[in-house]
Structure 1
Amino acid sequence: MNSGSPQLTRRALFGAMGAGAAAAALAGCSPMQRAAVTGTGLPSDLVTFWNFFGGGDGARMTEMVADYQATYPDIPLRSTTLTWGNPFYTKLALGTLSRQPPLVASCHVDRLVTPVDTGLLRPFDLDELAEWGITEDKFFPRAWEASHRHGELWAIPLDFHPLAVYYNKPIAEQAGLLTAEGTLAEPVGTQAFEDMLAAAKDVMGTPSTGFLNDAAGHYRVFYSLHSQAGGEMVSEDGRTAILTKEVFLEVVSWMRSLTHEKELLVRTIDPGGAIANFVNNRFAFFFSGGWERPTFVDAGVDFGIHSWPKVYDKHVAWDGTHSFVIPTYDEDPARIASALHFISGMLERSATWVEGGHMTTWLPVQDDPRTQEIQPHYENLPVDGTLYDPQAWYAGSGGNLQTVIGQPLAACTQGHISVEDAYDQALAGLRELAATEPPK
């Protein structure tokens, strides 16, 4: 699916109007559209793009890149997919330090700290961006804000995908959990959340889902709940571990009660098993970000996606954002123009990304009626905002923070260690990370 902005062709435009009308039409076009119509101003430098997208995300990014190439066949482009997580960032660092970086790279916004602080990235100039129609007012505010560090913009955000509750609509309807509009009724508070799980269990005869037993799955739920209840994990600079104890004990005790005393969640389930159970109507719910949407659409599941609910005091939830960055190399204007042209092209094509379960940050596409027709999708967003990982070198998607917090949490909810032991282990791991010098 292309972007909300129509792709203009020289033949279509000039065949439909005279030269004067054409000039007037061009005045309202984006820089990319003007270049496409007139055949001038297109970058000639090779665009090299490194990304880490696999699975459904990889297929959609390939589709977006292919559409860009088809629209601008004279622009040389080489897109390379590398291994997700730490290996990608290591490769990006080595390529940049050896002066062989890509022109553009993908980056998780919550992984910006190290490449920014070690001088691996080029900041974006706002006036330069404005020449390409890339301005703050066209972005989802929270993602734009999270793309800054030390007062400068280092990334152009593509999406956001907060923690959500997928729900099986027929099961939820039988359990009396839907509103008159056919969406999930918001379970506000711990008791309402338990009542939701209990109602589904009554229909199914078994627990209706479980916390994913990987570290990241537990971490996202915990980080959302801990933050809702007013807890803090680390200081603003990431160098001091906090992990508010009374909040941790309250939240994790409740999480553990759902898998043990109350038996409302299965004690352990791996991500693949949880997906299979949801696909086969054996689970009423699935806790994850929006990226699993294509799996359930392709399987023909009748489902909805509701934001993680307000269980404690504030309605916030974990969030993540994929973005585009420009590695440090040189300031050749032709290279920078090529990079910005490509990034703008990906933003304009981000309706395809929405089909993959993400929310596009690019409001011209997000607000397009054609994008709104991509359903099911997020029904709502957390009222009090979304949460990115702390700005610390060890945080972010695939980072060490998720492991040192998520592993003891999983062991606790599965019944292997106590809540107190989980706290002690998580705090010890967090203190070690916070005390470790960041990469230079």
Structure 2
Amino acid sequence: MEAVAGRTGLDEVPGFTKECSDGTTDPARRAPARPPHPAARRRRRARSPRPRELREPRRRERRDPAQVLAPALRRRRPHHGRPRRPRQRGQPHVRRHPDRAHLGSAVLHEARHGLGGGRAPDLAIIHAARLPGYAPGGLLDPWDLDLLAEFGVRREDFGDRVWESGTFDGDVYSIALDSHPFILFYNTDHAAAAGLMEGDRMRQPTSPDDFLDMVTAMKEASGGSGLSYGYVNDGAQMWRLWYTLYLQQGGVMELPIGGEARIDDEPAVEAFRFIQQLVDPSRGVPNADIQTALAEFISGDSGMLLSGVWELPSLQAAGLPIDAMPIPNLYGTPAAYADSHAFVLPHQNDVDEDARREVYRFVAEILKDSFDWAGAGHVPAYLPVTEDPAYADLLPQANYAAVAEIINYDPPAWFTGSGSDFQSLFAENLQPVLLAGADPQAGIDRFRAALDELLGKPNPV
């Protein structure tokens, strides 16, 4: 404390007395009655810099790249003195000044301020399920489909569900780059030992009970868990599986603004009853988070893993004998949860038509070159890529690409979508059902009441 005080100018304050280690004060060390001239103080500071622990941080806090799918909508300017990023291969006419922001309410706040100050960028990327929160407030401009067609991208180049995710009030506000569904990974060695393989792929279960039997067989073959599923403190993971099983039973969820939420009780409760059996200790770890589930599967101590396609690179890097498939249709209605990374045009009051035309060119070229993006596990939205014969050799991606035909996005509302508080609200009310065996119906009732409260509030943008 004494050393810090001496270097921060406290001994120059009139009447200041330093305290010695024994608790007494030393009159000989009392500060002078009059402070030095301000210029002298500035010179002294220049010679004796402030200690590191008291300095203001000079660099902006780094943001988590894993949560980055919607940039702060503000104009990018090149940073002087820093090396420029190389231009995108194949687009010599494009210079990028990328920025990133967290998902959720923070990006909405930054977006409003960026647009209000006339600093909107030429292009941004969001999760498609967040579109109902952006489009109504005038934050985005609709896409000109005729101009997009000039660069070889048309409506028929996309699946119905992917394309519809980008529409609002009859206009197209987002163009999907991909879909990233929630799927089932499995260890082919364990599946073979459990007698579950048919040819080079695992067989499809015929019912919920049949799938539970498959998980039990995988547990015996792996010597660890039959299935790994991380959900603790992760509303997104809980929601993705529950919503898939809910929709497979024909469940409908509607969120009319100003009205009351519709959740069908019977399929809602049944989906939780089934997940409770999946996480029973007789089949796997009952209270795992996503990192625990990944570590267990990567180590070979589990037969199956429920998670998103974005985990594929990590699983492949571990050298596992893995394959993947859509979540099995256990209740009769093909359905899977997914979201999409999608290109949007931030609203600009004064559009530079030449720059906007280059944006269309850039997006078209990215879509046509999205085969490489499939390497990250994502399913390219541009059908000419997935229908190319070369895609059939991309494994295991080709084995679950058809899931794009049955994907379902979050029910549309201004507060839903990836990274939203909606998924956190789901976990807040329903995690005890899986962790402690709480009554699913009571949790659904609480969740419905919380949604009704949100539905009574206006869209903040």
- Selected match of 1:350 from 351, 370, 384: 370
In the other structure, the counterpart of 1:212 is 230
In the other structure, the counterpart of 1:165 is 184
Superposition deviation, residue 403 in structure 1: 1.7
In the other structure, the counterpart of 1:375 is 395
SS of match in other structure, 2:110 = helix
In the other structure, the counterpart of 1:119 is 138
In the other structure, the counterpart of 1:186 is 204
Residue 262 of structure 2 corresponds to residue 251 of structure 1: no
Superposition deviation, residue 57 in structure 1: 9.2
Summarize the Cα distance change of 1:372–1:382 in structure 2 as closer, same or farther, 3 Å threshold: closer
Separation in 1, partners of 2:67, 2:261: 36
In the other structure, the counterpart of 1:228 is 248
Separation in 1, partners of 2:191, 2:108: 41
In the other structure, the counterpart of 1:97 is 116
Residue 435 of structure 2 corresponds to residue 410 of structure 1: no
* Aligned 8 A contact 1:210 1:267 in 2: no
Which string of whole-angstrom CA distances, capped at 9 and with x for unpartnered residues, describes residues 309-335 of structure 1? 111120101111110001010333112
Separation in 2, partners of 1:434, 1:224: 23
Which string of whole-angstrom CA distances, capped at 9 and with x for unpartnered residues, describes residues 228-261 of structure 1? 112222246684211111222222122223334x
TM-score by length of 1: 0.81
* Aligned 8 A contact 2:162 2:404 in 1: no
Summarize the Cα distance change of 1:375–1:68 in structure 2 as closer, same or farther, 3 Å threshold: farther
- Selected match of 2:444 from 407, 420, 423: 423
Superposition deviation, residue 433 in structure 1: 2.0
SS of match in other structure, 1:81 = coil
* Aligned 8 A contact 1:164 1:306 in 2: yes
* Aligned 8 A contact 2:159 2:404 in 1: no
Partner amino acid for 1:150? Answer: D
Superposition deviation, residue 68 in structure 1: 5.8
Superposition deviation, residue 427 in structure 1: 1.9
Separation in 2, partners of 1:340, 1:392: 28
SS of match in other structure, 1:315 = coil
* Aligned 8 A contact 2:162 2:176 in 1: yes
SS of match in other structure, 2:250 = coil
* Aligned 8 A contact 2:182 2:307 in 1: yes
Partner amino acid for 1:240? Answer: E
* Aligned 8 A contact 2:228 2:296 in 1: no
Separation in 1, partners of 2:237, 2:268: 17
SS of match in other structure, 1:305 = strand
In the other structure, the counterpart of 2:96 is 77
CA-atom RMSD in angstroms: 2.4
In the other structure, the counterpart of 1:54 is 65
TM-score by length of 2: 0.77
- Selected match of 1:106 from 125, 129, 134: 125
Q: Which has the higher contact order (CA 8 A, sep 6+)?
A: 1
Summarize the Cα distance change of 1:430–1:186 in structure 2 as closer, same or farther, 3 Å threshold: same
Choose 1 or 2 for highest CA Rg: 2
Separation in 2, partners of 1:392, 1:106: 19
* Aligned 8 A contact 2:217 2:226 in 1: no
SS of match in other structure, 2:433 = helix
* Aligned 8 A contact 1:389 1:395 in 2: yes
Superposition deviation, residue 361 in structure 1: 0.7
Residue 418 of structure 2 corresponds to residue 400 of structure 1: no
Superposition deviation, residue 134 in structure 1: 1.5
Separation in 2, partners of 1:382, 1:348: 20
Residue 331 of structure 2 corresponds to residue 320 of structure 1: no
Separation in 1, partners of 2:243, 2:99: 33
Which string of whole-angstrom CA distances, capped at 9 and with x for unpartnered residues, describes residues 154-206 of structure 1? 011100122100101111111111111x1121113211111111111122344
Summarize the Cα distance change of 1:74–1:130 in structure 2 as closer, same or farther, 3 Å threshold: closer
* Aligned 8 A contact 2:336 2:406 in 1: yes
SS of match in other structure, 1:266 = coil
* Aligned 8 A contact 2:260 2:452 in 1: yes
Separation in 1, partners of 2:104, 2:437: 28
Separation in 1, partners of 2:251, 2:201: 30
Which string of whole-angstrom CA distances, capped at 9 and with x for unpartnered residues, describes residues 12-50 of structure 1? xxxxxxxxxxxxxxxxxxxxxxxxxxxxxxxxxxxxxxx
* Aligned 8 A contact 1:279 1:296 in 2: yes
Partner amino acid for 1:183? Answer: R
* Aligned 8 A contact 2:67 2:103 in 1: no
Superposition deviation, residue 293 in structure 1: 0.7
* Aligned 8 A contact 1:53 1:84 in 2: no
Gaps of 5+ in 2: 1-62, 70-83
* Aligned 8 A contact 2:254 2:411 in 1: yes
SS of match in other structure, 1:69 = coil
SS of match in other structure, 1:393 = coil
Partner amino acid for 2:191? Answer: A
SS of match in other structure, 1:79 = coil
In the other structure, the counterpart of 1:241 is 261
Separation in 2, partners of 1:66, 1:140: 34
Instruction: Choose 139-148 or 158-167, whichever is displaced more.
Output: 139-148
How many residues align structurally? Answer: 381
Which string of whole-angstrom CA distances, capped at 9 and with x for unpartnered residues, describes residues 109-145 of structure 1? 1000121000000001211211121211112332112
Gaps of 5+ in 1: 1-51, 59-64
In the other structure, the counterpart of 2:33 is none
In the other structure, the counterpart of 1:128 is 147
Instruction: Choose 183-192 or 363-372, whichever is displaced more.
Output: 363-372
Separation in 2, partners of 1:207, 1:238: 45
Separation in 2, partners of 1:339, 1:114: 23
Among all aligned residue pairs of Structure 1 and Structure 2, give the percentage whose two residues are the same amino acid: 28
Separation in 1, partners of 2:277, 2:155: 44
